[in-house]
Structure 1
Amino acid sequence: MESKTRRIAGISLFVMGAGFVAMLPFQEYAAARLLAGAFEAGLVGGLADWFAVTALFRHPLGIPIPHTALLPRNREKMTQALVTIVQNNLLNKESLVDKLRELEVAERLMGAARKGLSSPRFKDTAKAWVLSLLSRPLDKAWGAALPQLSRFVRSRDWADGLLSVAGGEPAVRQATEKLLDLAVDKGTHWVVTDDARRMMGKLAITAIGGLKMNGLMQFAVNAALNYFDEDQIGSAIQLALVTKLREISLEGHPTRESILAYLKKEWDVHVQSPDNRDKWNAKLQELLGSWVESDKPLALLEELRAKLHDQVENGGLLEKRVFPFVEDTAEKLSRNDRLLGNVNSFLQDTTVRFLEANHSRIGGLVRENIEKMDNDTLIALVEDKAGKDLQWIRVNGAVCGFFLGLVFTTVRMLLA
């Protein structure tokens, strides 16, 4: 387009020159003198504007006339001016920050995400990708991961990990209390049964009868045993045991606290023992390592893969559960004003901090790109972008000069 405009400018200058020369032999005619003056003025205007346009980029006709080739001679000034305009005016930091503050990025991202997630194209693509993934056998992937997994299982301190998961002393006490309450509950239910009462009465009579005592004491005990039967003695023992079990079940009761303290002491002895923990850890490592290195994990994974593949392909797992869940979650998130506000604030603050930290680099980037170009390349770039308008200046100069020449020549002929 610029070369076409350049040709038009050249043609206009040629027309003005040719017209002026053509009118010179006919100066005895008024019309010829009038046109000669107009063509002369047009020629002068066209030449003057050609000189002005050419002087912006290079020396006219290669002659180093002063104040020409303005772009190469003032390249540094123009570069600095362009850097200043871009950095401080076109991309002013304050205006950019204000615009960023006004953007509702989270809402737009969520809207785009909801639209994309509900589109048939996304669902078809996601289903095809999942089916492709689930169609691949796991033996190669499992074989590649097995050495690392085995080393991990056989090197990890499982005993310490389990104790950490247990939650420390509060969790241990809570678990101990639950076990004690369970034992008390089960013991109470057994103690109050008729079979337990008779068994305890029989055991008590047998035990008392087997005691070795002196003659008078033995006579008294035998007399008492003849008076009380096993059911009565069992009932007394039963009542005593139920009473004691109820004491154990009461929160804060000394008997309960004494039992819990003993259990904790035993727990600490076993847990804090390095030998015991090393034995537990070694056993856990061996059990888990042997299981991982067996065929069972791969068989379970293959079975799970096959079931998932069937559910995705024929059972509508994605269509009935996954896609509706994802869309519902996206819908809920899009209505969560607090979440969207926090996301907006985070994105805006992050972007603003990045902009403030790197805004000065904008000018440096502009300068760096300009300095990469030599004078010829820079001139060609400017002429390519602004050459059309600059060449029209030449055309306008020739045309305006022609009409002004008509006016001036007419005035001169009237005054002559």
Structure 2
Amino acid sequence: MKAISGIQMNGLMQFAMNAFLGYMNEERLGGILQGYLFERVEDMKREGSALRYKVLDMVRTQTVRLAMSEAMQDGINSWKNNMLEGWNAEETVLNKLTELRDKALAAMEDGQYVDTYALPAIERVLVDLRADDELMTGMNAKIVNGVTTLLEKNHSKIGKLVRENVDKMDNATLVSMIEDKVGQDLQWIRINGAVTGFVIGIALTALQMALA
């Protein structure tokens, strides 16, 4: 506004300029400039914008010019050397790892971390795995092969380990463990035995009566 008001004109042009300055203030002029810049930015977002291509061409030209400039290369190399000479790599890496650890601990201590980040991430991974049939087939084959190989190599050790653990138990503990693991099956065996014995008893009694 100061620059515009400092323009000196003659006659009718000066009158028009004074009228313009009387209407235009800083706020209105700022609004006009903001609107103009906003329209240009929106125009540059379009793929076919001529202004977009002009700006990109200018950026590329200046980038190539800077890359070919010896003074720029010397300045970058000097800055790089100075930074590396004064850079304590071990301390910097340690500080960054400490910072990441603190952030991770703070996030995990937050009660919403699991529901907000951990579980959705795990669910996405599981969905992707289930969708990849070839990967799932390969993983299953490797797991089965690995477990089979492990059992074959350590079969004697597994038997020895089971025997040692069983030997450490007394009769009451062993019976309790068996009841806990196969108690329901044992109950069905008892029930089946009772029903079978009842049916056989009826059949024998009927046969005995028939023979009598």
> Aligning the two structures, in what range does the TM-score lie when normalised by the shorter sequence?
0.3 to 0.5
Larger radius of gyration: 1
Select the structure with the greater relative contact order (CA < 8 A; seq sep ≥ 6): 1
TM-score between both structures, scaled by the size of structure 1: 0.21
